Protein backbone atom coordinates (compact mmCIF):
# COMPACT_ATOMS: atom_id res chain seq x y z
CA UNK A 1 0.00 0.00 0.00
CA UNK A 2 1.07 3.57 -0.74
CA UNK A 3 -0.61 5.04 2.33
CA UNK A 4 -1.34 4.21 5.97
CA UNK A 5 -4.90 5.42 6.39
CA UNK A 6 -6.20 2.95 8.95
CA UNK A 7 -5.54 -0.41 10.63
CA UNK A 8 -8.73 -1.73 9.01
CA UNK A 9 -6.97 -1.67 5.60
CA UNK A 10 -3.77 -3.53 6.56
CA UNK A 11 -3.02 -7.21 7.19
CA UNK A 12 -1.56 -9.07 10.16
CA UNK A 13 1.58 -9.62 8.02
CA UNK A 14 1.83 -5.84 7.46
CA UNK A 15 1.60 -5.26 11.23
CA UNK A 16 4.26 -7.87 11.98
CA UNK A 17 6.57 -6.38 9.32
CA UNK A 18 6.11 -2.93 10.92
CA UNK A 19 6.95 -4.43 14.35
CA UNK A 20 10.10 -6.20 13.06
CA UNK A 21 11.23 -2.98 11.36
CA UNK A 22 10.46 -1.01 14.55
CA UNK A 23 12.54 -3.50 16.60
CA UNK A 24 15.56 -2.53 14.46
CA UNK A 25 14.85 1.20 14.69
CA UNK A 26 14.34 0.99 18.46
CA UNK A 27 17.86 -0.41 18.70
CA UNK A 28 19.15 2.38 16.43
CA UNK A 29 17.59 5.22 18.47
CA UNK A 30 19.09 3.86 21.67
CA UNK A 31 22.61 4.18 20.23
CA UNK A 32 24.73 7.30 20.90
CA UNK A 33 24.22 8.23 17.21
CA UNK A 34 20.45 7.96 16.79
CA UNK A 35 20.30 8.78 13.09
CA UNK A 36 20.27 6.67 9.90
CA UNK A 37 20.42 8.00 6.31
CA UNK A 38 17.46 5.92 5.01
CA UNK A 39 15.15 8.82 3.98
CA UNK A 40 17.73 11.49 3.15
CA UNK A 41 16.19 12.10 -0.32
CA UNK A 42 12.62 12.35 1.04
CA UNK A 43 10.76 15.48 2.16
CA UNK A 44 7.86 15.05 4.59
CA UNK A 45 5.18 17.59 5.58
CA UNK A 46 3.45 17.17 8.94
CA UNK A 47 0.06 18.80 8.45
CA UNK A 48 -1.93 19.22 11.66
CA UNK A 49 -5.47 20.62 11.65
CA UNK A 50 -5.95 19.54 15.29
CA UNK A 51 -3.84 19.96 18.41
CA UNK A 52 -1.19 17.38 19.23
CA UNK A 53 1.83 16.97 21.49
CA UNK A 54 2.92 13.32 21.25
CA UNK A 55 1.97 12.42 17.68
CA UNK A 56 3.36 15.59 16.12
CA UNK A 57 6.71 15.52 17.95
CA UNK A 58 7.02 11.76 17.55
CA UNK A 59 6.55 11.93 13.76
CA UNK A 60 8.98 14.85 13.53
CA UNK A 61 11.64 13.00 15.54
CA UNK A 62 11.05 9.80 13.54
CA UNK A 63 11.52 11.74 10.28
CA UNK A 64 14.67 13.50 11.53
CA UNK A 65 16.16 10.22 12.77
CA UNK A 66 15.61 8.81 9.26
CA UNK A 67 17.38 11.93 7.83
CA UNK A 68 14.29 13.17 5.94
CA UNK A 69 13.74 16.88 5.32
CA UNK A 70 10.79 18.02 7.43
CA UNK A 71 8.29 20.88 7.26
CA UNK A 72 5.58 21.43 9.86
CA UNK A 73 2.18 23.01 9.25
CA UNK A 74 -0.42 23.91 11.89
CA UNK A 75 -3.78 25.10 10.59
CA UNK A 76 -4.25 27.47 13.55
CA UNK A 77 -1.62 29.92 12.28
CA UNK A 78 -2.01 29.26 8.53
CA UNK A 79 -3.95 30.57 5.53
CA UNK A 80 -6.69 28.02 6.30
CA UNK A 81 -7.87 30.87 8.55
CA UNK A 82 -8.31 32.97 5.35
CA UNK A 83 -10.57 30.32 3.78
CA UNK A 84 -8.13 28.12 1.81
CA UNK A 85 -9.48 24.58 1.19
CA UNK A 86 -7.82 21.35 2.31
CA UNK A 87 -6.87 20.27 -1.23
CA UNK A 88 -5.54 23.75 -2.15
CA UNK A 89 -3.54 23.83 1.09
CA UNK A 90 -2.01 20.39 0.52
CA UNK A 91 -1.40 20.89 -3.23
CA UNK A 92 0.45 24.14 -2.49
CA UNK A 93 2.61 22.33 0.04
CA UNK A 94 3.23 19.49 -2.45
CA UNK A 95 4.31 22.01 -5.14
CA UNK A 96 7.33 22.62 -2.94
CA UNK A 97 8.42 19.03 -3.81
CA UNK A 98 7.08 17.23 -0.76
CA UNK A 99 6.96 13.41 -1.06
CA UNK A 100 4.98 12.33 2.00
CA UNK A 101 2.23 13.88 4.09
CA UNK A 102 1.46 13.08 7.72
CA UNK A 103 -1.96 14.51 8.50
CA UNK A 104 -4.19 14.98 11.55
CA UNK A 105 -7.69 16.30 10.87
CA UNK A 106 -10.93 16.57 12.85
CA UNK A 107 -13.05 15.10 10.01
CA UNK A 108 -13.29 11.30 9.77
CA UNK A 109 -12.14 10.26 6.28
CA UNK A 110 -10.12 13.45 5.56
CA UNK A 111 -6.86 11.52 4.78
CA UNK A 112 -8.81 9.02 2.62
CA UNK A 113 -10.30 11.94 0.65
CA UNK A 114 -6.86 13.45 0.28
CA UNK A 115 -5.35 10.15 -0.88
CA UNK A 116 -7.74 10.14 -3.84
CA UNK A 117 -6.88 13.70 -4.82
CA UNK A 118 -3.14 14.24 -4.37
CA UNK A 119 0.08 12.54 -5.44
CA UNK A 120 1.99 11.75 -2.22
CA UNK A 121 2.15 9.01 0.40
CA UNK A 122 -0.26 9.83 3.21
CA UNK A 123 -0.05 8.73 6.83
CA UNK A 124 -3.12 9.28 8.97
CA UNK A 125 -2.09 10.83 12.31
CA UNK A 126 -5.71 10.77 13.55
CA UNK A 127 -8.91 11.61 11.64
CA UNK A 128 -11.66 12.79 14.00
CA UNK A 129 -13.42 9.91 15.76
CA UNK A 130 -12.34 7.41 13.08
CA UNK A 131 -8.77 5.97 13.20
CA UNK A 132 -5.34 6.68 14.70
CA UNK A 133 -3.33 3.83 13.16
CA UNK A 134 0.17 4.63 14.44
CA UNK A 135 -1.22 4.93 18.01
CA UNK A 136 -2.72 1.43 17.76
CA UNK A 137 0.55 0.08 16.35
CA UNK A 138 2.64 1.60 19.14
CA UNK A 139 0.11 0.35 21.73
CA UNK A 140 0.21 -3.24 20.44
CA UNK A 141 4.02 -3.04 20.05
CA UNK A 142 4.25 -1.95 23.72
CA UNK A 143 2.04 -4.89 24.84
CA UNK A 144 4.25 -7.27 22.81
CA UNK A 145 7.35 -5.75 24.44
CA UNK A 146 5.92 -5.99 27.98
CA UNK A 147 4.15 -9.38 27.79
CA UNK A 148 6.13 -11.13 25.01
CA UNK A 149 3.16 -11.48 22.65
CA UNK A 150 -0.21 -9.91 21.85
CA UNK A 151 -1.94 -13.15 20.76
CA UNK A 152 -4.11 -14.62 23.52
CA UNK A 153 -3.90 -11.54 25.75
CA UNK A 154 -7.05 -9.96 27.19
CA UNK A 155 -7.16 -6.21 26.62
CA UNK A 156 -9.87 -3.99 28.14
CA UNK A 157 -10.31 -0.55 26.56
CA UNK A 158 -11.97 1.61 29.20
CA UNK A 159 -13.49 5.07 28.71
CA UNK A 160 -15.04 7.21 25.99
CA UNK A 161 -15.19 4.62 23.21
CA UNK A 162 -17.81 6.59 21.25
CA UNK A 163 -15.53 9.55 20.45
CA UNK A 164 -12.23 7.67 20.33
CA UNK A 165 -10.20 6.95 17.18
CA UNK A 166 -7.67 5.23 19.45
CA UNK A 167 -10.33 2.70 20.52
CA UNK A 168 -11.35 1.79 16.96
CA UNK A 169 -7.77 1.42 15.66
CA UNK A 170 -6.83 -0.57 18.79
CA UNK A 171 -9.77 -2.94 18.33
CA UNK A 172 -8.77 -3.64 14.69
CA UNK A 173 -5.07 -4.02 15.54
CA UNK A 174 -5.47 -6.20 18.64
CA UNK A 175 -7.97 -8.51 16.91
CA UNK A 176 -5.66 -8.90 13.87
CA UNK A 177 -2.90 -9.93 16.29
CA UNK A 178 -5.11 -12.51 18.07
CA UNK A 179 -5.92 -10.66 21.33
CA UNK A 180 -9.33 -10.76 23.03
CA UNK A 181 -10.79 -7.26 23.33
CA UNK A 182 -13.32 -5.86 25.78
CA UNK A 183 -14.68 -2.31 25.82
CA UNK A 184 -15.91 -0.81 29.07
CA UNK A 185 -17.78 2.42 29.72
CA UNK A 186 -21.23 3.86 30.32
CA UNK A 187 -23.76 3.07 27.56
CA UNK A 188 -23.80 6.75 26.57
CA UNK A 189 -20.09 6.56 25.67
CA UNK A 190 -20.27 3.33 23.61
CA UNK A 191 -21.21 3.45 19.90
CA UNK A 192 -24.43 1.59 18.97
CA UNK A 193 -22.52 -0.61 16.47
CA UNK A 194 -19.98 -1.78 19.09
CA UNK A 195 -21.18 -5.40 19.34
CA UNK A 196 -20.79 -5.80 15.55
CA UNK A 197 -17.01 -5.39 16.05
CA UNK A 198 -16.70 -8.71 17.89
CA UNK A 199 -15.67 -7.23 21.24
CA UNK A 200 -16.98 -8.02 24.73
CA UNK A 201 -18.96 -5.16 26.30
CA UNK A 202 -18.82 -4.47 30.04
CA UNK A 203 -20.25 -1.58 32.04
CA UNK A 204 -18.65 -2.43 35.41
CA UNK A 205 -15.05 -1.19 35.45
CA UNK A 206 -14.07 -3.49 38.35
CA UNK A 207 -15.22 -6.53 36.35
CA UNK A 208 -13.27 -5.28 33.30
CA UNK A 209 -10.11 -4.91 35.42
CA UNK A 210 -10.62 -8.39 36.90
CA UNK A 211 -10.99 -9.88 33.38
CA UNK A 212 -8.05 -8.23 31.61
CA UNK A 213 -4.27 -8.60 31.36
CA UNK A 214 -3.99 -5.05 30.00
CA UNK A 215 -6.21 -2.02 30.68
CA UNK A 216 -6.00 0.75 28.07
CA UNK A 217 -7.62 3.78 29.73
CA UNK A 218 -9.02 6.53 27.47
CA UNK A 219 -9.76 10.20 28.04
CA UNK A 220 -13.29 11.67 27.94
CA UNK A 221 -13.18 13.67 24.69
CA UNK A 222 -15.25 16.70 25.69
CA UNK A 223 -14.15 18.52 22.52
CA UNK A 224 -16.01 15.97 20.34
CA UNK A 225 -19.27 15.86 22.30
CA UNK A 226 -22.04 17.50 20.26
CA UNK A 227 -24.48 17.40 23.18
CA UNK A 228 -23.85 17.28 26.91
CA UNK A 229 -23.37 13.60 27.62
CA UNK A 230 -24.17 11.76 30.80
CA UNK A 231 -22.12 11.19 32.86
CA UNK A 232 -20.46 14.42 33.92
CA UNK A 233 -16.71 14.31 34.54
CA UNK A 234 -17.32 14.05 38.30
CA UNK A 235 -19.74 11.17 37.83
CA UNK A 236 -17.40 9.50 35.35
CA UNK A 237 -14.47 9.68 37.73
CA UNK A 238 -16.62 8.33 40.59
CA UNK A 239 -17.89 5.29 38.65
CA UNK A 240 -15.12 4.63 36.09
CA UNK A 241 -11.95 6.39 37.28
CA UNK A 242 -9.15 3.84 37.83
CA UNK A 243 -7.18 4.14 41.07
CA UNK A 244 -4.61 2.13 43.05
CA UNK A 245 -7.18 0.74 45.49
CA UNK A 246 -9.00 -0.93 42.57
CA UNK A 247 -5.77 -2.53 41.31
CA UNK A 248 -4.80 -3.61 44.85
CA UNK A 249 -8.16 -5.42 45.08
CA UNK A 250 -7.37 -7.65 42.07
CA UNK A 251 -5.92 -11.15 42.51
CA UNK A 252 -3.32 -10.47 39.77
CA UNK A 253 -1.05 -7.81 38.27
CA UNK A 254 -2.29 -5.96 35.21
CA UNK A 255 -0.57 -3.60 32.78
CA UNK A 256 -2.02 -0.07 32.54
CA UNK A 257 -1.83 1.98 29.35
CA UNK A 258 -3.09 5.41 28.28
CA UNK A 259 -2.50 7.11 24.90
CA UNK A 260 -2.30 10.59 26.50
CA UNK A 261 -3.09 13.30 27.22
CA UNK A 262 -4.22 12.10 30.68
CA UNK A 263 -6.90 13.97 32.60
CA UNK A 264 -5.42 13.08 35.98
CA UNK A 265 -8.07 12.35 38.60
CA UNK A 266 -10.80 11.80 35.98
CA UNK A 267 -10.21 8.55 34.04
CA UNK A 268 -6.94 7.69 35.83
CA UNK A 269 -5.42 8.62 39.19
CA UNK A 270 -1.77 9.57 39.57
CA UNK A 271 -1.26 6.65 42.00
CA UNK A 272 -1.74 4.35 38.97
CA UNK A 273 -0.47 6.56 36.11
CA UNK A 274 2.91 6.96 37.82
CA UNK A 275 3.10 3.43 39.27
CA UNK A 276 4.98 0.31 38.21
CA UNK A 277 1.76 -0.94 36.55
CA UNK A 278 1.94 1.88 33.98
CA UNK A 279 3.74 1.61 30.63
CA UNK A 280 2.48 5.03 29.49
CA UNK A 281 5.91 6.55 28.85
CA UNK A 282 7.13 3.32 27.20
CA UNK A 283 4.24 3.77 24.75
CA UNK A 284 5.51 7.26 23.93
CA UNK A 285 9.09 6.00 23.55
CA UNK A 286 7.95 3.21 21.21
CA UNK A 287 5.96 5.69 19.11
CA UNK A 288 9.14 7.04 17.52
CA UNK A 289 10.39 3.58 16.44
CA UNK A 290 6.93 2.61 15.12
CA UNK A 291 6.65 5.84 13.09
CA UNK A 292 10.18 5.39 11.73
CA UNK A 293 9.14 1.89 10.58
CA UNK A 294 5.93 3.11 8.94
CA UNK A 295 7.67 5.96 7.07
CA UNK A 296 10.60 3.75 6.02
CA UNK A 297 8.30 0.99 4.67
CA UNK A 298 6.04 3.47 2.82
CA UNK A 299 9.09 5.18 1.28
CA UNK A 300 10.20 1.77 0.01
CA UNK A 301 6.88 1.42 -1.83
CA UNK A 302 7.38 4.71 -3.65
N1 LIG B 1 -1.87 10.07 21.80
C2 LIG B 1 -2.00 11.20 21.06
O3 LIG B 1 -2.46 11.15 19.91
O4 LIG B 1 -1.58 12.34 21.70
P5 LIG B 1 -1.53 13.80 21.02
O6 LIG B 1 -2.95 14.21 20.77
O7 LIG B 1 -0.82 14.68 21.99
O8 LIG B 1 -0.79 13.65 19.71
Q: From ligand 1's centre to the CA of 249, what distance in Å?
A: 31
- In this prediction, residue 202 carries a pLDDT of 98
In this structure, the answer to whether residues 246 and 193 fall within a common structural domain is yes
Q: Pick out the chain residues at pLDDT < 50.
A: none
In this structure, the answer to whether residues 265 and 151 fall within a common structural domain is yes
Q: Look at residue 2 and tell me if it is in a domain.
A: no
- In this prediction, residue 173 carries a pLDDT of 98
- In this prediction, residue 162 carries a pLDDT of 94
pTM confidence score: 0.96
In this structure, the answer to whether residues 125 and 241 fall within a common structural domain is no
Q: From ligand 1's centre to the CA of 50, what distance in Å?
A: 10
In this structure, the answer to whether residues 242 and 148 fall within a common structural domain is yes
- In this prediction, residue 228 carries a pLDDT of 64
- In this prediction, residue 265 carries a pLDDT of 95
What residues are designated binding site for L-aspartate?
82, 165, 219
In this structure, the answer to whether residues 20 and 35 fall within a common structural domain is yes
Instruction: Tell me the pLDDT tens digit for each residue of 204-224.
Output: 999 999 999 999 999 988 777
In this structure, the answer to whether residues 137 and 166 fall within a common structural domain is yes
Q: From ligand 1's centre to the CA of 260, what distance in Å?
A: 6
Q: Which atom of ligand 1 is nearest to the CA of 125?
A: 3
- In this prediction, residue 83 carries a pLDDT of 96
The count of domains in the chain is 2
Distance of alpha carbon 212 from the chain centroid: 20
In this structure, the answer to whether residues 90 and 149 fall within a common structural domain is no
Q: Look at residue 58 and tell me if it is in a domain.
A: yes
In this structure, the answer to whether residues 270 and 294 fall within a common structural domain is no
- In this prediction, residue 154 carries a pLDDT of 98
- In this prediction, residue 1 carries a pLDDT of 56
In this structure, the answer to whether residues 138 and 82 fall within a common structural domain is no
CA-proximal residue: ligand 1, atom 6 (nearest): 52
- In this prediction, residue 220 carries a pLDDT of 87
Looking up residue 90, the CATH number of its domain turns out to be 3.40.50.1370
In this structure, the answer to whether residues 220 and 105 fall within a common structural domain is no
Instruction: Tell me the pLDDT tens digit for each residue of 138-176.
Output: 999 999 999 999 999 999 999 999 999 999 999 999 999
What residues are designated binding site for carbamoyl phosphate?
54-55, 104, 132, 135, 260-261
In this structure, the residues whose C-beta lies within 6 A of any atom of ligand 1 are 52-56, 126, 135, 259-261
CA-proximal residue: ligand 1, atom 1 (nearest): 259
CA distance 57 to 260: 13
| Residue 76 structural domain | 12-131+284-301
Amino acid sequence: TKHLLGIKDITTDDINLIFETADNFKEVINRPIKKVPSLRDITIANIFFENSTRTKLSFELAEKRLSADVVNFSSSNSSVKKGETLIDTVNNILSMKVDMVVMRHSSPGAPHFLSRNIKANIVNAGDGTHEHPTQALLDAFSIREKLGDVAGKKVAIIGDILHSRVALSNIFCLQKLGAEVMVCGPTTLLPKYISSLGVKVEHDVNKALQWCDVANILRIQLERQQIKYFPSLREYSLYYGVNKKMLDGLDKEIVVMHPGPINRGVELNSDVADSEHSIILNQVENGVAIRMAVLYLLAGVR
